[in-house]
Structure 1
Amino acid sequence: MTIPTQSPATQQNHDLAAQLRDSRLKPGLKHFIGGQWVAGQAGRTFDAHSPVDNSLLVQVAEGDAGDINRAAQAAHDAFQTWREVGGAERRKILHRIADLIEKRSQEIAVLESLDTGQAIRFMKSAAARGAENFRFYADRAPAAGDGQSLPTTGFLNYSLRQPIGPVGVITPWNTPFMLSTWKIAPALAAGCTVVHKPAEWSPVSATLLAEIMDEAGLPKGVHNLVHGFGETAGKSLTEHPLIKAVAFVGETTTGSHIMRQGADTLKRVHFELGGKNPVVVFDDADLDKALDAVVFMIYSLNGERCTSSSRVLIQQGIYDEFTKRIAARAANIRVGDPLDPDTEVGPLVHPRHFQKVMSYFDKAREEGATIAEGGVRVGDTGNFVRPTLFTGARNDMAIAQEEIFGPVLTAIPFQDEAEALRLANDVAYGLAGYLWTNDLTRAHRFAHGLEAGMIWVNSENVRHLPTPFGGVKNSGIGRDGGDYSFEFYMETKNIAISLGTHKTARLGAGAPPAVTAKEVEG
């Protein structure tokens, strides 16, 4: 697919991309271990490709168990001093990281678009959110260890929190820079050290983040980066005895593997996994606003978003008209060059994922659904897919049960509130849910019954950083956000101080028992 560059802004992005290819990508990507950029011990590399045309983008050092061991040891050694660094000093360093992210935001956005195929209009926002994540946790670092005073009769109890130790962070390929900051920033604020393994399909921005943290003055060994594949580097990280916890964002099956791999060393795990999130539209809703939210939450970020509303449940009386409006909007979405600011949907990240998404078009037809819009690739090269809408669908179809993770929406009708709630909950996942109604009582009632970790009423996904982020069922374990992240990265310790007023039971303080003749003879 040949994609013209039309606007001056697009040309500027391509010029910067060409410079970055020569200066940053042409030499290849290395690991960052103990404050040093190093090649893999075995000397192997793998290729990462451009989603636009699947041409070679960069060669990447392929990490293995030896590289993970070096990184885990570096993180372990650095933890002995980083844990003692005061929260005020950690705050300064994390703010410097945020400053540098903001300074290099255009570079981050261009590299992220090159690497993932995400439209640059969204990657600019992702870079800004990365800086915001560091600032948010920077300001919480001084109080990260705070606990509670819990007095009782005869005792002063107080609790405190202490960093758990070196942690493994495994991040996905959809918005890798932002999601890396979302995991790494609270770990550093808590006083933990990190070994980061980014997804092999999108390794570029992790290298830039490591550079930024090093430039900001993060002590050597506090953050370590090892590239590689899940079945080798990832497995070694989740099994390593020096790694005390693993934070993972990705696919549900992989989360199950990580849990098994970490079992022998009793690792704490935090999983943000898949979703098949419902957006429920009642006939009393503000349908114009609901339409905007439905279209945005499935087709933005190429549909490669864990919180995307990939099932739209629409009340029967408005189903036909509302799906026609979705189809019209989907047909008008601009698919193309991810470096063009006007592009709304870029190419999917990898040919394997592209083929997976494409396979659901035949599944939909086989199951009896209608492809009301899309259902085709765009162009002859690259991983471009037309935004797609399935209508006439049932909740038992594969297109309604399985996470497609692309710009693909399944529309299902319902009669009443009871049926809507049953359909919404009738999946293995439970990450997010969205509800559109002007009935306040129903909104609360429905939200209470919905099996999901996060619910938005009359809104798309609008994150407030102090709130808990995470899912139920097959969508994850644990919560991010605010102090919820510290609950994962820190251990809570209780200390009880006696006031000297309680009495301890006395054992063995009385007269010794008489010795019997039998005991003497024995």
Structure 2
Amino acid sequence: MSEAKQVGQLYINGTFKPAEDGQTFEVLNPYTLAIIGEQAEASEKDIQAAIDGAVQAFRTWKQTTAYERAGYLRKLLHLMQTREREIAEVMTLEQGKPVAEAVGEVRYAASYVAWYAEEGIRVTGDLLAPSQTDSRLSVRKIPVGPVGIITPWNFPLAMFVRKIAPALAAGCTVIVKPAEQTPLTAVKFFELIHEAGFPAGVCQLLTGEASKIGSAWMASSAIRKISFTGSTAVGKMLMRQASETLKKVSLELGGHAPLIVFDDADLDMAAAGAVESKFRNCGQVCVATNRVLVQRSVYDAFIEKLMKRTSALTFGDGFTNVDMGPIIDKQGFDKIVAHVDDALAKGAKCLLGGKPAKGGGGYLFEPTVLTDVTSAMRIAKEETFGPVLPVFVFDTEAEAIQMANDTPFGLAAYCFTENLSRSIRVTEALEYGMVGLNTGRISAAQAPFGGVKMSGFGREGGRYGIEEYLVTQYIATVYKES
């Protein structure tokens, strides 16, 4: 794709527009570090206009039927399917992931639109048994109100689509704030929103300084729900701020996923699962494996299979036929280097990689495998968010469970075993919101995505995801008998 400079605008009340004060910020290609575009930076007036528009549109959008809302979502789905390559190329340009992987993300995002076009129709209430003959007691589910959505850069389309699809299906209006590193994918998607004909104000796009936009949303009593994906530290801050207006909040925060390989596992399947989980999107995945725990008796055999698969990975420009692209920015790159250096200084061994790679001038890091890793190392406790796989050893099932749960986070975990009884014991003992058994890939539109402990709360996906955008209303009716 050509790196012709792109200019992205805001989308407020059904219109693409520059920022009120004309301010923009630069967007970089993380592989070449070239400036590929400029994006409008929302002013305070723009933010307030979006809030006002969302409130106004909610008055009528919530009155539409679930079938009408499904119609809009189906139009959007069709546009996503017919324009997937176009969206994917913009994603690769600003985020760096290989185009084939970006196409996969578009399809994954589209699966949520397809699901919620149908799930909105299935939202129901209840009729309760009355306590007297002249009364009726009913319960209905109603949309919570205008929603603010804040998402990171690692999945610049899927992260916000799997939030806005259930919100729209539920009858909420939405304002999306994507990451500053990857706004152009969101702009491209909003072109499809516009083409699908959603009423003005139902879907809005604000880009720019996160603290400015987020602070305005948190202070506004008109924004009734915040859905955030990002760091635990920011999630805690948003939760504190939400208390002032008692907003409903969903938080998908940091993780530190273990992948346990028992001595009865299919080692080829386990090695494939570890590589798929760890190195997809260059390790920049919230559910990526952060620690591989291997039972001692199969340790050497597993390492051999893991090394064979990992050493075959290619990396470079996402527009070429590679498995991995670059790290998103210098901050992320420096954290990876610091984790590896700390581990090596404390006695870890590097079997593969372990250093920056050359290419394009950007932030490439070689696929890396570390062994002799201990709990004293930073990489054992902190989320690396890069293509580094540390391997630990354990002896007993109880030890594996203890090691896996020894973290304040609880987003995703993985387990490989062919023993039915062990699979039940271990998966139910893992303190995580999601567990993959004999697989390194767990996300699906029909399944509840989310964590526990310091990984947040709330779910995205399936019938569970739409509940996040609904509130329960109870109506007691007394009527006159003829």
TM-score (norm 1): 0.89
Deviates more, 1:314-323 or 1:471-480: 314-323
Q: Aligned partners of 2:291, 2:200: CA distance in 1, in Å? A: 46
1:119 aligns with 2:94: no
SS at match of 1:413: strand
Q: Decide which of 238, 259, 263 is 1:258's aligned counterpart.
A: 238
Q: By how many angstroms is 1:362 displaced?
A: 1.0
1:237 has 2:226 as partner: no
Task: Determine whether 1:68 maps to 2:47.
Answer: yes
- The equivalent of 1:79 in structure 2 is 58
Shift of 1:414: 0.5
Which amino acid in 2 is paired with 1:446? V
Q: CA deviation at 1:108?
A: 0.8
Counterpart for residue 515 of structure 1: none
1:471 is the counterpart of 2:471: no
255, 274, 279: which one pairs with 1:275?
255
Q: Give 2:350's aligned residue.
A: 371
How far apart, CA to CA, are the structure 2 residues paired with 1:74 and 1:452? 39
Q: How many residues align?
A: 478
Of 147-156 and 38-47, more deviation after overlay is shown by: 147-156
2:129 is aligned to 151
Q: 2:12 is matched with which residue? A: 33
Equivalent residue number for residue 95 of structure 1: 74
Determine which of 153, 165, 175 is the counterpart of 1:195. Answer: 175
Separation in structure 1 between the aligned mates of residue 380 and residue 82 of structure 2, nearest angstrom: 42
CA distance in 2, matches of 1:245, 1:355: 34
Structure 2 CA distance for partners of 1:395 and 1:498, relative to 1, 3 Å: farther
Residue 152 of structure 1 and its aligned partner are, at CA, apart by 5.1
Task: List per-residue Cα deviations over 1:443-494 (Å, max 9, x = no partner).
Answer: 1111111000011111122334222211001111111112212221111112
Secondary structure, in 3 states, of the residue corresponding to 1:46? strand
- Structure 2's unaligned 5+ residue stretches are none
Tell me if 1:295 matches 2:275: yes
Code of the residue aligned with 1:140 in structure 2: it is E
Higher mean alpha-carbon deviation, 457-466 vs 302-311, is at 457-466
Question: Is structure 2 residue 337 aligned with structure 1 residue 358?
Answer: yes
What is the distance in 2 between the residues matched to 1:387 and 1:336?
11
Q: What are the Cα deviations for residues 103-157 of structure 1, in whole angstroms up to 9, with x where unaligned?
A: 110001111111101111211111112222111101122233x112332543643
Pick the structure with more strand per residue.
Answer: 2
CA shift for structure 1 position 245 = 0.6
After superposition, the C-alpha distances for 1:331-388 in whole angstroms (9 at most, x for unaligned) are 2211111012x31010111122112222212111122211221111110511111011
The aligned counterpart of 2:202 is 222
For the residue of structure 2 that corresponds to 1:394, the secondary structure is coil
How far the C-alpha of 1:253 sits from its partner, in A, is 1.1
The Cα of 1:395 is off from its aligned counterpart by 2.9
Does the CA contact (< 8 Å) of 1:395 and 1:412 recur in 2?
no
Name the SS of the counterpart of 2:350 in structure 1: strand
Q: What is the root-mean-square deviation in Å for CA atoms of aligned residues?
A: 1.6
Kindly provide the amino acid, as one letter, of the partner of residue 401 in structure 2: L
Kindly indicate whether residue 28 of structure 2 is the aligned counterpart of residue 49 of structure 1: yes
Q: Deviations along 1:166-214, whole A, 9 cap, x unmatched?
A: 0000111001111121011111001100111000011111001111011
Q: 1:445 to 1:356 in 2, by over 3 A?
A: same
SS at match of 2:365: coil
Question: Matched residues in 2 for 1:319 and 1:78: separation?
Answer: 59
Q: Identity across aligned pairs (percent)?
A: 36
Residues 323 and 391, structure 1, Cα contact 8 Å, conserved in 2: no
Deviation at 1:500, TM superposition (A): 9.0
SS of residue matched to 2:403: helix
- Separation of aligned partners in 2, 1:120 and 1:482: 27
Equivalents in 1 of 2:342, 2:479: separation in Å?
A: 70
Residues 396-442 of structure 1, C-alpha deviation per residue, up to 9 Å, x if partnerless?
42111101111111111011000000000001110011111111111
Q: Secondary structure of the residue that 1:479 maps to in structure 2?
A: coil
Which residue of 414, 417, 426 corresponds with 1:446?
426
1:333 aligned residue: 313
1:69·1:240 contact (CA, 8 Å) conserved in 2? no
1:42 alignment partner AA: D
3-state secondary structure, aligned to 2:126: coil
Task: Note if contact 1:193-1:221 (Cα within 8 Å) is conserved in structure 2.
Answer: yes
- Partner letter of residue 377 of structure 2? M
1:416-431 maps to which residues of 2 (within 5 A)? 416-431=396-411
Task: Give me the whole-angstrom Cα distance separating, in 1, the residues matched to 2:244 and 2:272.
Answer: 48
Rounded Cα–Cα distance in structure 2 between residues aligned with 1:45 and 1:32: 14
Residue 456 (1) aligns with residue 451 (2): no
Q: Of the two, which has the highest radius of gyration?
A: 1
- Name the CA distance, whole Å, in 1 between partners of 2:152 and 2:256: 17
The 8 Å contact of residues 164 and 192 in structure 1, kept in 2 or not, is answered as yes
